[in-house]
């Protein structure tokens, strides 16, 4: 499990998901696009959902636990980009 640290908050997620999000987030922020990212929490951590506003001026850090880059799904990348 890796995580995104954004504005001092850690958001934990699977490395494969994080890899796809990393690509989409970096592409959008590089173009100075602001957007929201939302996710649901599992019942194991209390359920619920959350959203953050992503902006190029707010530092973001990606931490991957695995040393290998997971395989990428181009369809998933396109869907994530479109939904952001």
pLDDT tens for residues 26-62?
999 999 999 999 888 888 878 899 999 999 999 999 9
* pLDDT at residue number 40: 87
Note the pLDDT tens digit of each residue in 5-18. 998 889 899 999 99
Query: How many domains in the chain?
Result: 1
Q: Give the integer Cα–Cα distance in Å for 26 and 43.
A: 30
What's the rounded mean pLDDT across residues 65-83?
91
How much is the pTM?
0.86
Q: For residue 61, give its domain range.
A: 2-83
Q: Phi and psi (nearest 5°) for 40?
A: -110, 145
């Amino acid at each position: 499990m890796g995580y995104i640290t954004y504005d001092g908050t850690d958001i934990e997620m699977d490395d494969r998901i994080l890899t796809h999000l990393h690509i989409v987030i970096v592409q959008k922020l590089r173009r100075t696009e602001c957007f929201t990212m939302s996710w649901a929490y599992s019942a194991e951590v209390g359920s619920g959902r959350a959203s953050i506003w992503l902006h190029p001026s707010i530092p973001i850090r990606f931490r991957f636990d695995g040393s290998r880059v997971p395989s990428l799904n181009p369809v998933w990348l396109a869907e994530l980009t479109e939904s952001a």
